[in-house]
Amino acid sequence: MTEIHGLILAGGLARRMDGRDKALVEIGGRPLLAHVMARLAPQVAGLALNANGDAARFAAFHLPVVADDVPGFAGPLAGVLAGLDWLARERPGATHAASVAADTPFLPTDLVARLAEARVAAGARVAVAASGGRRHPVIALWPVDLRVDLRRALVEEDVRKIEWFMRRHAVAIADWPVTPFDPFFNINAPEDVAEAQRLFATQDAATSRHH
């Protein structure tokens, strides 16, 4: 049996957001992290948050907070490794982690199912999300037992980019359309917040029309 847990990556330095925690930026009156949790939680057996610094700032979300243990802000790969190690230790039933970015408030509700299907169909170790043909390496499905190889790559070989690491493994792709908008739209800069607010309002209007 496959047991998939969700891993929300919020470990970045948010350089373009004046160092603010992107996960706590509000869209439609709720922090980005709350939107991501609401989208991902129904698709997985449990959630964990990868974040560095004072974990208390995320206390309101009642999530296990897992910090990187690879020194020097090694990027999202270090967050994935921290999550896989935590799952191996704390959730022995977990076979896979679905990693997502904490600043993607419009994640597809079939994300995990489609990543899992793509992985099995291709006989691949890892599955990655794409939209409009563009890969999103942070949004992926990872086997927990890949953590040994991942640690070696990070610590001994100084591999930093997820794409570089993925080249070593069979990777399946699950692709989503980008209309009416890209479900993997993410917030990198202050102007993206305004765009997300607009998308959120449009979505809200569409939802209320359907009910």
pLDDT (tens digit per residue) in 145-162: 999 999 999 999 989 889
pLDDT, tens only, 60-74:
999 999 999 987 767
Cβ proximity of 28 and 119 under 8 Å? no
Domains of the chain by range and CATH? Answer: 4-210 (3.90.550.10)
**Distance between CA atoms of residues 166 and 71, nearest Å:** 21
**Distance between CA atoms of residues 112 and 178, nearest Å:** 18
Cβ proximity of 154 and 77 under 8 Å? yes
**Could you tell me whether strands 65-66 and 96-101 are parallel, antiparallel, or unpaired per DSSP bridges?**
unpaired
Distance from chain centroid for Cα 5 = 11
**Could you tell me whether strands 171-176 and 126-131 are parallel, antiparallel, or unpaired per DSSP bridges?**
parallel
Look up residue 79 and give its two tokens.
Answer: 């967050």
**Distance between CA atoms of residues 32 and 21, nearest Å:** 10
**Eight-state DSSP code of residue 84:** H
The pLDDT score that the predictor gives to residue 195 is 83
Mean pLDDT value across residues 85-91: 98
**Distance between CA atoms of residues 38 and 107, nearest Å:** 10
Cβ proximity of 142 and 5 under 8 Å? no
**Could you tell me whether strands 26-27 and 30-31 are parallel, antiparallel, or unpaired per DSSP bridges?**
antiparallel
**Distance between CA atoms of residues 104 and 189, nearest Å:** 13
In which band, very low, low, confident or very high, does the pLDDT at 180 lie, cut at 50, 70 and 90?
Answer: confident
Look up residue 136 and give its two tokens.
Answer: 């999103």
The pLDDT score that the predictor gives to residue 16 is 46
Look up residue 10 and give its two tokens.
Answer: 């919020």
**Distance between CA atoms of residues 91 and 107, nearest Å:** 24
Q: Above 50 in pLDDT, residue 17?
A: no
**Distance between CA atoms of residues 83 and 129, nearest Å:** 19
